[in-house]
Amino acid sequence: MGMTMTQKILAAHAGLDHVEAGQLIRANLDMVLANDITGPVAINEFEKAEFETVFDKSKVSLVMDHFTPNKDIKSAEQCKQCRTFARRFDLDNFYDVGNMGIEHALLPEKGLVAAGDAIIGADSHTCTYGALGAFSTGVGSTDLAAGMATGQAWFKIPSALKFELTGSLPEYVSGKDVILHIIGRIGVDGALYKSMEFTGEGVKSLSMDDRLCITNMAIEAGAKNGIFPVDEVTEEYMKGRVNRKWTKYEADEDAVYDETYTIDLSALKPTVSFPHLPENTKTVDEAGDVAIQQVVIGSCTNGRLSDMKIAAEILKGQHIHPDVRAIIIPATQQIYKDCIKLGYLDAFIDAGCVVSTPTCGPCLGGHMGILAAGERCVATTNRNFVGRMGHVDSEVYLASPAVAAASAIAGKISGPKGGK
């Protein structure tokens, strides 16, 4: 019986020739990640277990991105604890205010994750790095503490779903629309503890930013991880970023999948996820007349340069609706700088938007854009649960940067060029 991409990576990191779905293994790790919310919990467990060192100071990353710049005393204390830990063990990859970014945009940008890696992070959207052909998944802070000390983690080998992609995306349709369409099709538990493996001719038409967005939201379908094959797009992205050897894994021809789904990319339309689950999807022309009060363009899902580009193109020369607050959050300092050089910030500010330093901020209801009762927000973030962005009586609608920017101008859910 053949193995999937994910199974091959896990087998290699466990020192095994073959693994099967359901098998328990202990695997070596290439990167261990935490942020300013999950990091302190992991550090407490690390100290409780009386660990005395980290397994490799170049393979532990702490990124201060959720409540930074610190919104209150508690968040300041959390960052201080992470800062102290990073200095104690001389961590190579500690990212604080001024040089940080949203973790799942920052690590690929810095070349800290690569094809063939096995990565855990105390954040559910760690599955993002599957876009590079790596196995990456979120874990609890206790598992992360053990990972920081030992460089290993236990896994149950996941079975897999295969997503055969054909065609190419139409104008104003992006990776966000692909993953919202898929989640709408299979549901928020449709891939529960499975690997979502993307393949087919359509893959080559997807940019790396599209792929990072798609794998980022694999967890919203309940998946253990999402993963793309390593191709020319992957190799070009890693060139000049990754300064170490990486490994390309390919699924066996006789690999076993629980189900196979065919997705015609050319048939997709701009898609919106309605409250209060990511699976509640409608195409933008089915949305109806939904007035909004806020737009957020950013996050680990859609804060990359291509996301800023499409938003700037739509907002340039326009002005947001007087009833709307629009918040733009470039995901890293480099992306922020590129937005300045390319004139995107002028377009945003002239349109009446506010531009924030990199932060997760409003995505998790942290800061920089909390909703009041009865308010609605179109966001390029990844979750729209009850109270996710503020008051329990507020609503979050998930969409692409193109839809979010067009909606900011219209004052209601709208697609670019009339929503078509």
Contact 402, 416 (CB under 8 A): yes
Asked if 288 and 377 count as a contact pair (C-beta separation under 8 A), the reply is: no
Query: What is the CATH code for 272-414?
Result: 3.30.499.10
Answer for the pair 332, 358: CB distance below 8 angstroms, yes or no. yes
pLDDT tens digits, one per residue of 226-253 = 999 999 999 999 999 999 999 999 999 9
pLDDT at 419 over 70: no
How many whole angstroms separate alpha carbon 234 and alpha carbon 296? 28
Beta-bridge mates of residue 165? 263
pLDDT in tens, 97-113: 999 999 999 999 999 99
What pLDDT does residue 417 have?
79
What gap in Å lies between CA 64 and CA 10, rounded to an integer?
29
Percentage of the residues of the chain whose pLDDT score is greater than 70? 99
Mean per-residue pLDDT, 17-30? 97
pLDDT tier, 418 (very low <50, low <70, confident <90, very high otherwise): very low
pLDDT score, position 62: 98
Question: pLDDT tens digit string along 195-215?
Answer: 999 999 999 999 999 999 999
Q: What is the dihedral of CA 359, 135, 267, 172, to 10 degrees?
A: 20
Class (C level, CATH) for 5-264: alpha beta
Q: What local confidence, expressed as pLDDT, does residue 217 receive?
A: 97
Q: Break the chain into its structural domains and give their ranges.
A: 5-264, 272-414
Average pLDDT of the residues in 312-340: 97
With 0.75 as the threshold, say if the pTM is over it.
Answer: yes
| 5-264 and 272-414: identical CATH topology | yes
The angle, 0 to 180 degrees and rounded to 10, between the axes of the packed helices 305-315 and 208-216 is: 100
Mapped onto helix, strand or coil, the DSSP state of residue 271 is strand
Q: Which of 111, 119, 62, 120 is nearest to 87 (CA)?
A: 62
Residue 197 β-bridge partners: 162, 227
Distance in angstroms between the alpha carbons of the first and the last residue of the chain: 45
Distance CA(214)–CA(143), nearest Å, equals 25
